[in-house]
Structure formats: structure tokens, C-alpha cells
Structure 1
Amino acid sequence: MLIISIVLTGVLAFAQDGSIKGKVMDKETGEAIPFANIIAESGGKQFGGATSDFDGYYTIKPLAPGKYDVKVTFVGYQSTLLPDIVVSPDSSIIVDIKLAESTDLLNCVEVIGYKVPMINRDKGGGCIRRYSNADANYIQHNTESYDVINENIFKEVLNSPLSTFSVDVDKASYSNIRRFINQNQKPPKDAVRIEEMVNYFDYDYPQPKNDDPFSINFESGECPWNKSHDLVLIGIQGKEIKTEKIPPSNLVFLIDVSGSMSASNKLPLLKQAFKILVGNLRPQDRVAMVVYAGAAGLVLESTPGSNKTRIIGALENLNAGGSTAGGAGIKLAYRIAKENYIPKGNNRVILATDGDFNVGASSNG
């Protein structure tokens, strides 16, 4: 019996974490639902969470083997609970989720001047008012611009043997290009960032072993446009840190509430994104909120993550209007972050804005 016990203990010690992945969709139309909040719980305690991407896909990992209740929420839809989802060692379970629309009506949404409506649903009760570009008091501005991308040249390894990489991952270009295509527009060439297009997808690279900070993965193949060349893809997978091991966070939300943020895809969308973040806060985390328009102000003192009602209430009360005094907002946000500084913690100011500062100090440096 002693030998059997030791063997079983050894097997359990080498069991690998698993994951839950899938797609969140509208129950009636089958359309993908982006920005849905998915949480894995067991015994009333949260063990992991994720947010669906623009195509509705999500992944919750790493999760220790066992049973979990999966809870899904998104504004305008009924909350859904999927009980007893079994996660097996070293494997992924596919859980696709279909959300039904909520019977609680949302407030009226005004979409102004969009050639392609962002919301294409009108099922009674709620209202969507749409104004054309010809309306008397509407002036359309386009301040969207991109830094010039200089194409990389070939370098001989003999002369340039050193290559660097970044541990952070940028992948916004994929969604941005999709936005242009969905609006029947050609993306500006400098908006096309190949690295971010590649990074958008999940390659399921293995976790690093032992004390290695990352794993290195190679793929190679013949170059489609030049048969005498080969293409090599080098993938870096950083070590995933379990939620309970993450240091406590001292966060300051610095939110632009100037007049240009009133569009439905700006401040209202930011509110939903920050709500998702708030939903994943732990009691040891803290959040303060600074806003700026013509001036800067503190709308929420540093609040523990357990008081989600107060934090979300402060978000809901935000309204857009005025000019953009970003410099004053940054100074105030950093002062608040310093006052609530957590030694060896995750101290961050999260800036959310749509453009340039037009009041107060600013620079292009």
C-alpha cells in the first residue's frame, strides 16, 4: 500500500495544467460577441478569467485539473452559468457559449455620421437614432494618422549577428485593418504592421521548462515569392503566472472625457472595457480614477478591488465634454499613484484617450 501511495503521489505531482477555450456567440444570430467577460470559478472562488476577442474567441489558462463553473457576462445579454466543466491535465476543453439577449432595455444610443452602422439590430423596445453627415450642426473630423514604417532590409549575419525581441505583444493592427475592410475602405499602408498581424493569433506554444523565463519555438518553410529563400518564424512563449501569484496592483485609470470622446466607439466602449478589468480585480488590488477635459480631477479615490460596485458606479457617471488638458491629467494621476504606491507591487497608470492634448503642456517627444 505504501508503494502504491508513493506512485500515485508522483503521478499527481507531474500533472500539467489544462485550459478552457471556445467562442462566445449570439444565441439567435450566431454572430461573435467580442469583449464578453468569462470567469472560471470553483467553490465560489475565481481561478481564472478571460475576455473574448473581436472574433468572440477566448482562452482561460492555466487551470489546475478539476471541475469549474464558467460564468459569462456581457452588456445587453443575460448572464450565463455553465456548471461542472471538467478540466483535464495537459489538455484544452472546448466550451462554446451562446448568450441570449437581456429583456432589460438599454438606454437610447445615438450613432452620428457613420456610413456603416456600428449597430445593426432593432428588435423593438430600445431605440437607435441615426443622423446623416448632412445634419446641420454635425462636423466630421478625421485626425487618424500613423507613423511611417520603414521597411527592413536584408542583413548579413556575419556583419549583424545580434537580434533583439520584446517581451510584450502588440496585436492591434489586425483588428484595425479589419475595421477598414468592414467599412469598405483601403487601410493606410502604415497601418499594416506585419508583426502585429502575426502576433494576433494563439499558437499554443509550450510553456518554458524548469527555471527558463521563456521557450523558443521555430518553424521554417520555402519563401512563396522567392524559391531561393526560406522563411523562418521564431516564436517566444513567456512563462504564465497564476493569478494568485501576481503581486497586488495599485492602478490609476486616467480617462479622457473631452468632447471628442462622446462617440459610441470611444468613452462608452472604454467604460465596458474597464468594467471587464474591474471584474477581474482581487481584494488586494486597488483602483483610483482621474479624468481630464478642460481640467483634471479625481473622481474616485484609491478603492479596494473588493468594492466593485463603487468603482463601476464611478465609471457609469462619466460623461464627455470640453477640451483636452492631458498634461494636467497625467500629473495628477502620477501623484495619486505615488500616494498609494505598493512596494514590490504592480503600480500602473492606465491612460485611455483618443488623441492629442490641446490644452496645457504637451510635446511630440
Structure 2
Amino acid sequence: MLAAKTPRPATPPTLAREADGAMEPARSAVPVQVPATPLAPEGSSSTAGQAADVVEGTGLGEREASGSFVEESFGIPTPGNSDQANTTPPGQAAPSAAIGTAGLAAAPERRHVSPQRSRNESVQVPTVNTESFASAPASAIKSVASEPVSTFSIDVDTASYSLVRSSLNTGQMPPPQAVRIEELVNYFDYAYAAPESAGTPFTTSVAVSETPWNADTRLMQIGLQGYAIPVTERQPLNLVFLIDTSGSMQDKSKLPLLTAGFRLLLSALNPDDEIAIVTYAGSTGIALQPTPASENATIMQTLDTLTATGSTAGAAGLQQAYALAETMGREGETTRVILATDGDFNVGISDPEALKTFIAGKRDSGTYLSVLGFGRGNLQDATMQALAQNGNGTAAYIDTLAEAQRVLVDDLTANFFPIASDVKIQVEFNPAKVSEYRLIGYETRALRREDFRDDRIDAGEIGAGHSVTALYEVTPKGSPAEQLPPLRYSTEADAALPASDASSGELAFVKLRYKLPGETTSRLVTTPVTADRQDIPAAERDFAAAVAAFGERLRGTGTVGWDRIEGLARPGLANDPHGYRAEFMRLVRLASAVAR
């Protein structure tokens, strides 16, 4: 057990929350009831079955008539109300079991909310869609003769996968620009070998195999697996919830889902962790001063009082959140601001560059930022990504209570406790063995070759237990799959390259740079890659390839058939402890139906 914290110095007095003044009209949405119908059998030409497990918009029950939506729809009782209906599916532990207690265990039992959805659900279809997404053109094929080196920052965000699921569950294909393939692939773990101690923050696994969609190319998979800190050994955690309470947040897929998700998070915290709550947009101020997680009834009562009304010019919500966080953090603790919004980033700093600079400065002083998006129609995904990247945090999109469980409970240590920062990958291809290559995804994370050794360049972080996957499609020298014309002098240039006995059989050389938390100088790890290297089981490789092919098909850059994608993924179902891979299979079938 961790030692209890010593008393903290007095915190600033609670700021009076601004009364709603002259408000701008709240963004409105028109509820559209979409009947849930059974999914058409595979191979059927009917589209009537598109909505089976489809129309889940929020992933929540529809019981609005109760007048107490959060408690009844999510099956999470308020403190002292033990007679609430339990809507947890049979065979699962009720979420209320760990949440309604007055004290919290240091290492609470991990609980899982099944990804299976109710068939009786509705969605909110906004009348005006002002969403924006962080995107870039698909990676082009590169010639090894002219560009032998590929460099990029890692990405552990998974927001794109949830956005894809949200769109498909409303019977629509996702916007192509919302599909970031690396985030789809990194939604899943791939049974990589794990580090044995904290002294080695992560391990590297590499495998080369035939590309499932092209027998004349090879698929090179690079996997990083972070060290998983035992729950009982993790540092104390200080969290400041910065919550958007503008009028548009009243939709049940927004503030009600947000508060229900934060209730789940409380069940996973240690008693000496601390929580504070700051609101902005609808009302601005400190709703809850730093409070030990053991006082969860007080924290939940504050969450229950939050309302989404109106829209103001906004006070300095972000500055308030960071100022409060600085009073909470001590040496040996992790402090993080969690910004939760449906897209209103009116947090007190209007200039985007000034906002990123402010967040980066706070990151360097030890306070990180994570961003959670809720609802559809106004989601500013591009801003979410930029803020999270500058804050050494993750960006996630919460579309269901099951996703809140995954992000805030199951992956708590991965998302909140960094074990390595500024992680960059650089791959050098051997021109004697490889003529062309293509990095699948990571378009928004590309770096220049010289950025790899520049420790001033910010890059992605790996959290405790996180895994990261990157896929390259590689064209061997002389393969009929070669697409780029050869350079005039490539033969002489290649012949002049020195080849030692040690490197003559290598396809590529993988280099990684990272910093340990608090360090300013990076460390280097290298891994040679040969054509027969097989660190990753075949079923895991095929599942990763299936997810990548799925992403390429969704954004219109791939041609692998839906049935082929499903067939590739099927062997990977043997490693599916939480049902995420089974849900992926459902989404593939759903996309096939919607696309007809």
C-alpha cells in the first residue's frame, strides 16, 4: 500500500460560479428515431438489416421517461439509492457494486462493460454539422533509392476508431477524413512480448510476412509494448476535470454520458488520489476543490449537480484548471487535466497557437492534458488532437459507456501514467533488398529525417502498459509489384553501397528514440530486420492487417473486400478477453451492409 498523503496547504477559495448572463442560442439537435432492425444475413443484398446493433448512437438505454436519465439508463445508482433498477446485462458485474461505496480499495477489481449494445436505441442527428477532423493525404509509395529513411512520431490515440463506430452505428459511413488508420490499429493489443521490469520501458517486436492483399509485397509489422505498472505500485494521481457545460452538452450522449463515465473512473482510483472539478462555457468556476477519492459520495454529488445551460463568452477555464492542478501536484505524483467537451474549446485562450503554447509550457512543468470528446455534430477532432499532443496526453472519443469503461478504467494506467516521452521511430530500408515501401497511416505524425535526433522536437508518449503498432508495406527488389520508375543512376549507386556481412541480409534497420519521464536527453534502441523475422504470432499479424485494410476501405484508398477482411480477422478472435475484436467483426459486417 502507498503511504497516505500528508495534509496539503490550503487551496484557493472556491470562485463564485458565473450566473448565466446574456447567452448565445445553444446549438440544437433534432432527435430522429431510427428503428432498430435485425442485421441482414451475410451475403444478403437487403439493406434493411443495417441497423441491427447499428443504431447505437450513444450506446445508452432509452429510458428517458424516468426523469433520472443518468442513473436509470446506465444502471448506476446515486449514493443512498439502492433500489435503482440494475440494467447491467446478465453475467456482468453491476457498475454500482464498486461505485456506491463510501471508501475505495487501493486496487479495485477490474470490471468490464460489454461492447454489445441494446437494439432499442435512438440517435441525435444534428441539424448543422460543424465537425472538423485532423487528417492528411494517404501516405504515398516511396522509392528506397531516393528516400531510404522513414521517420514518424508514435500515436496511442484511439479517437478515430470510436468515431468510425459511432458513424456506422447510425447507419452511415464515417467521413473519410475521420479515419486515421494507425488509431484503428492501435485500438487493439497484439500479444507483444512485454518488458520484465520498469528499467526497460518497452520492448520491440518485428515480423515480416506476405501482404494479405498482394502476394508480391511484404508486410512489416513493428510493435512496441510498454511496461505495465502494477496498480498497487503506481504513483498517486491528481485529476482536474475541466468540463464543458454549454447548452449543447445536455444531449444524453454528452454530459449524462460524461458524468456516468467519470463515476466509473472513481471506482478505479486509490483512496489518496485527488479529484477537482472546473466548469466552463455554460457556467465557469471551480465546482469542486481538490477532494480525496475516498470521499467519492461528495465527488459524485458534485457531478450530479452539473447542468448544461446556455453559452457564455467564457472565463479563463483552462487557466483555472491548471492553477488548481499546480496546487495538487507534489513530487512523485502524476497530475493531469482532463478536458471533456462536445467541441466547444472556448476555454479562455482564443488564439490556437497561444493555446498550444500555454499547454506545452504546462506540460514541461509536469502537468499533462488529456482530451475527451462527446457527441456528434460539433466535434472538433483536429483541435482535440492538437491539444492532447501538446499536453503529452491522449485524445479519445467516448460514444458509449463501454468506451468510457475502456478509456477511464481498463486503460487507466496506460492513459494517465507515462513511462516514456517523445517516442520517435525511424526505419532505414536496405536498397539492395527493398525497392519501395509505404507506411500505412501516421500521416499526421510524420517527421523530417533530421527531427529524429533533435531532442527539442516533441513526439508521442507511451503510457504504462500501452502498445503501439506500425505497418509498412514493403516491395522487395525486383518484385513485379514495383510501381515507381527506376532512377537513371540507381544501379551504379546501389552497387557502390558497402554491405557488411552483418547487414547484407537485412531488409531494414529500425531505430527508436525516447526519453524517460523528467529527462531531456533521448535514448536510442535499434533493431535489425531480416526477411525471416517472426516475433509476432500469425493470427496477431493477420488481425492487424485486417484492421488496416478495413481503415483503407473506409477512407476510399483500399480495395480489399469486406469478406476478405473478416476472414483475415477471424483467427484473432482467440485472443479477445474483452470482446473488442468480436465487435470489430460486427463493424466490418455493418460497413458492408451500409456500403451497399
Please indicate the TM-score interval, normalised by the length of the shorter structure. 0.5 to 0.7
In structure 2, the residue matched to 1:65 is none
Contact 1:262–1:321 (8 Å) recurs in 2:
yes
3-state DSSP class of the match of 1:229?
strand
In structure 2, the residue matched to 1:120 is 120
- 1:214 maps onto 2:277 in alignment: no
In structure 1, the residue matched to 2:165 is 178
In structure 2, the residue matched to 1:55 is 115
- 1:161 maps onto 2:149 in alignment: yes
CA distance in 2, matches of 1:335, 1:232: 45
Contact 2:318–2:348 (8 Å) recurs in 1:
no
CA distance in 1, matches of 2:287, 2:352: 28
Structure-to-structure mapping, 1:1-365, within 5 angstroms: 26-27=89-90, 45-50=105-110, 52=112, 55=115, 120=120, 140-156=127-143, 159-161=147-149, 163-166=151-154, 169-210=156-197, 211-323=199-311, 325=313, 328-357=316-345, 361-365=349-353
CA distance in 2, matches of 1:47, 1:358: 37
Query: Which is further off, 285-294 or 323-332?
Result: 323-332
Residues 289 and 207 of structure 1: CA distance in aligned 2, closer, same or farther (over 3 Å)? same
AA paired with 1:332?
Q
Ranges in structure 1 where 5+ consecutive residues have no aligned partner: 1-23, 57-116, 122-129, 134-138
In structure 2, the residue matched to 1:71 is none
Query: Which is further off, 261-270 or 226-235?
Result: 226-235
Contact 1:213–1:239 (8 Å) recurs in 2:
yes
TM-score (norm 1): 0.62
Contact 2:237–2:274 (8 Å) recurs in 1:
yes
AA paired with 1:274?
F
Residues 260 and 229 of structure 1: CA distance in aligned 2, closer, same or farther (over 3 Å)? same
CA distance in 2, matches of 1:221, 1:38: 46
Q: Percent identity?
A: 41
CA distance in 2, matches of 1:239, 1:335: 31
Return the offset for 1:52. Answer: 3.2
3-state DSSP class of the match of 1:227?
strand
> Could you say what the CA RMSD is over the residues aligned between the two structures, in angstroms?
3.3
Residues 348 and 333 of structure 1: CA distance in aligned 2, closer, same or farther (over 3 Å)? same
Return the offset for 1:219. Answer: 2.9
Contact 1:37–1:49 (8 Å) recurs in 2:
no
| 1:18-62 superposed Cα distances (whole Å, 9 cap, x missing partner) | xxxxxx9722xx9xx8995897xxxx9553544536626xxxxxx
3-state DSSP class of the match of 2:253?
coil
In structure 2, the residue matched to 1:21 is none
Contact 1:292–1:325 (8 Å) recurs in 2:
no
Query: Which is further off, 221-230 or 182-191?
Result: 221-230
CA distance in 1, matches of 2:221, 2:337: 34
3-state DSSP class of the match of 2:240?
strand
Return the offset for 1:207. Answer: 1.4
Residues 290 and 358 of structure 1: CA distance in aligned 2, closer, same or farther (over 3 Å)? closer
Task: Flag the structure with higher helix content.
Answer: 2
AA paired with 1:55?
P
Contact 1:296–1:332 (8 Å) recurs in 2:
no
Contact 2:238–2:273 (8 Å) recurs in 1:
yes
Contact 2:246–2:283 (8 Å) recurs in 1:
no
Contact 1:253–1:288 (8 Å) recurs in 2:
yes
Residues 54 and 144 of structure 1: CA distance in aligned 2, closer, same or farther (over 3 Å)? farther
AA paired with 2:264?
I
CA distance in 2, matches of 1:34, 1:357: 36
Residues 50 and 132 of structure 1: CA distance in aligned 2, closer, same or farther (over 3 Å)? closer
AA paired with 1:120?
N
Aligned residues: 260
3-state DSSP class of the match of 1:298?
strand
Residues 294 and 25 of structure 1: CA distance in aligned 2, closer, same or farther (over 3 Å)? closer
Residues 37 and 240 of structure 1: CA distance in aligned 2, closer, same or farther (over 3 Å)? farther
